[in-house]
Each structure stands twice: as structure tokens, then as C-alpha cells.
Homo-oligomer: A and B are copies of this chain.
Amino acid sequence: MLVIMEESATRKEIKRVTELIKKMGGDVHHLTDDKTTSMTITGNSDGVEREFLAKMPGVKDIKDVKQPYKLGSRESKAKDTIVKVGKVEVGGKKLAIIAGSCAVETVEGTNEGGRLLKMLGANMLRGGAFKPRTSPYSFQGLGKRGLEILADARELIDIPVVSEAVDTDSFDLVEEYVDLIQIGARNMQNFSLLKRAGKSKRPILLKRGISATIREYLLAAEYIMSGGNANVILCERGIRTFNEYTRFTLDISSIPELKQQSHLPVMVDPSHASGRRDMIIPLSKAAIAAGADGIMVEVHPFPDKALSDGYQSITFDHFLALMDEIAKIAKAVGRSL
């Protein structure tokens, strides 16, 4: 159930309605646009008396939400959500460009790389400290040390930083150090981690699982939102299909579909989607043309020496070319870098 308040509703009225719903047994989640506040009621709403609520001062309308993802759905909130990561706005006119190496490796690399990337157009710096690796014998990331390096780079370069939390323990640590916390594809249905993210004050970048349906994906986001954290950024990163020429298959249609189903921002990760550096530019262009709010790419000064995922990383030169190409598409669709 969705309670839409009048534009003129006072904070007191909003508070009174909120408390009334709680008394009736429902959980209340506020979704605010520039001007209006809506409240989505989840949990046990059997006791919520709709007609009574409708007559409360400040209440404009009451609607049913048919989509199973109550909070993330367009039905609950027609206007696009803009998620703030430090000073960067994701979901607005300006595109979000997250760049950096797959794994944080050295202080110098991170600082110099980050500086260069910012200069070339990136507005967020990524780097993995905790790496979810298929094999227990692969490099697992620098852990806390990696986060420290990343946090130092943020101060030096003045750029928000992004890193992945792979479990509730690492979440606590990542939360302490970074501006945007990534939950990876393998953890998209790690519900404990999602619940933990729901309690965080930090925005969350939730990647789509490699075989997740759109419904499952938006319900995963709902776990975070229903926990109290409305700042979720979605990120398409390829699905598993019979195709062999790319590592995964970028599901470009998911961009308009997610935009239609949900008010959350949608980014695209062409590096993991394709696993091929020669695909980064065309796929990024396609993503922006299809309506994505930004891209996340792996950049490494010496891709072939990267400790993780080097074959899909691009060089700084290549990143510069990417920015040039994207800029033109961005302009064509009324966006900017």
C-alpha cells in the first residue's frame, strides 16, 4: 500500500500518519521527491484501515502497489531517484563514471592511477580490497590494507571511492573506508549481506547476479531498501548464456526494463560483462544510448601484469578514447560527462 501525501503536508502531519500506520501494525518507508512524500507500507498491513487513513490531514491519495518490490518500484515513486556518492550524483543528467583497477595493488599505482583517471573524466575511483575469487588458491585481495590505500587516495585526489564487501565482516570495514559499497554479482542473493547493507548509511552499488531475473534483482534491492537504506544503485554486468565469445552476455535490454520497473539509477559494467577489453568502447556507447546512468570500467596501467582480471582491463590511453566516444553519445541523449 502506498500513501501519497499532499505537497502542502506539514512535517507534523507526515509524522502523525507514520505513527498511525505503525500502530495499525504496518512498517512504514518514506520515499521523498523534491516536493512530495510518499509512504510505502510493508510487513503486516492487515490491520491498516485504508479509509480511515485516507481521511487523515495531509493525505492526498492511497494506492495499491502491485509490483512485489514495493519500495523500488516505479509505482511507489514515479520520479527517478538520484543517489549521492560524496559530491557525485548518480541518476541525474551527468553520467557516473567509475574507473580503477580490479584489485587495489600498491599505494603509488592507486594514487597515480586515480589522479590520471580523474583528470581524464572518471568521477569515482574503484579498487577491490576483498576479492571474491572462484578458486581458494587465487589472490584474495589486500583486505584492510587495500581499503586504507583507497581511502588515502580519496583524500589526496578528492574523489569518492568504491569497493566491494564480500560478507558482513568485510562490510563493516568497507563501510568505514569508502563512499560507495559494492555488493557483487555472486552475492546478489546473499540475504544476510543485503540486510546488513540495509542498515548502512552508505549508498550501495548492487550488481545483478549472472543468472538473476529482473524480478529477483529488484527483490534483492528491496532487501536493502526495506532495511532502511534507500540509496541503491543498480548495475547490469552481463548474464550467463550459451555465448562463448564473451565471458558473459551484456543484457542491454535490462536498462530500459529496470528503468521502467524501478526508480533506481542503473549503471553498466562492460568490463565484467564481456571480459574483453576490445568490447569496452562499443558496449559503453550502447549502454549510454540505451539510457544507462553511467558505467564502471576496469583500467590498469599494465593490464597484462594485473593481479586480477587483467585481460579485461583497459589502459589509460584506451580510457581517454572511451571518454571521447561516450561524450558524443551522452550529448546525443541529453546527458553529459
- Residues of A98-151 whose CB lies within 8 A of B: 132-137
Asked if A34 is at the interface of the complex by the 8 Å CB criterion, the answer is no
Contact A243 B239 (CB under 8 A): yes
Contact A278 B250 (CB under 8 A): no
Chain B contacts of A69 at CB under 8 A? 135
Chain B contacts of A214 at CB under 8 A? 243, 245
Chain B contacts of A194 at CB under 8 A? 136
Report the minimum CB–CB distance from A52 to chain B (whole Å).
Answer: 23
Asked if A331 is at the interface of the complex by the 8 Å CB criterion, the answer is yes
Given contacts A211-B240, A242-B239, A219 and B134 within 8 Å (CB-CB):
yes
Asked if A152 is at the interface of the complex by the 8 Å CB criterion, the answer is no
Chain B contacts of A133 at CB under 8 A? 191
By beta carbon, the residue of chain B nearest A242 is: B240
Binds B, one of A87-95, A255-263, A311-319: A255-263
Size of chain A's interface in residues, with CB distance under 8 A? 70
The number of times this chain is found in the oligomer is: 4
Binds B, one of A15-23, A75-83, A165-173: A165-173
Contact B136 A226 (CB under 8 A): yes
Q: Which of B193, B226, B283, B290 contacts A253 (CB 8 A)?
A: B283
Q: Which of B68, B167, B274 contacts A192 (CB 8 A)?
A: B167
Chain B contacts of A192 at CB under 8 A? 166-167, 169-170
Q: Which of B211, B282, B329, B332 contacts A211 (CB 8 A)?
A: B211
Chain B contacts of A219 at CB under 8 A? 134-136
Asked if A223 is at the interface of the complex by the 8 Å CB criterion, the answer is yes
Contact A137 B43 (CB under 8 A): yes
Chain B contacts of A246 at CB under 8 A? 253, 257
CA of A283 to CA of B286, assembled, Å: 9
Asked if A187 is at the interface of the complex by the 8 Å CB criterion, the answer is yes
Contact A223 B136 (CB under 8 A): yes
A170, A249, A253, A329 pick with most chain B CB within 10 angstroms: A253
By beta carbon, the residue of chain B nearest A227 is: B136
A168, A169, A329 pick with most chain B CB within 10 angstroms: A329
- Residues of A158-194 whose CB lies within 8 A of B: 166-170, 186-187, 189-194
Contact B289 A285 (CB under 8 A): yes
Contact A253 B250 (CB under 8 A): yes
Chain B contacts of A239 at CB under 8 A? 241-243, 249
Asked if A264 is at the interface of the complex by the 8 Å CB criterion, the answer is no
Chain B contacts of A285 at CB under 8 A? 289-290, 333
CA of A289 to CA of B327, assembled, Å: 12
Contact A132 B211 (CB under 8 A): no
Asked if A298 is at the interface of the complex by the 8 Å CB criterion, the answer is no
Asked if A328 is at the interface of the complex by the 8 Å CB criterion, the answer is yes
CA of A157 to CA of B240, assembled, Å: 44
7 residue pairs, one from A and one from B, having the closest CB atoms: A167-B192, A211-B211, A289-B289, A332-B332, A286-B286, A286-B290, A328-B332
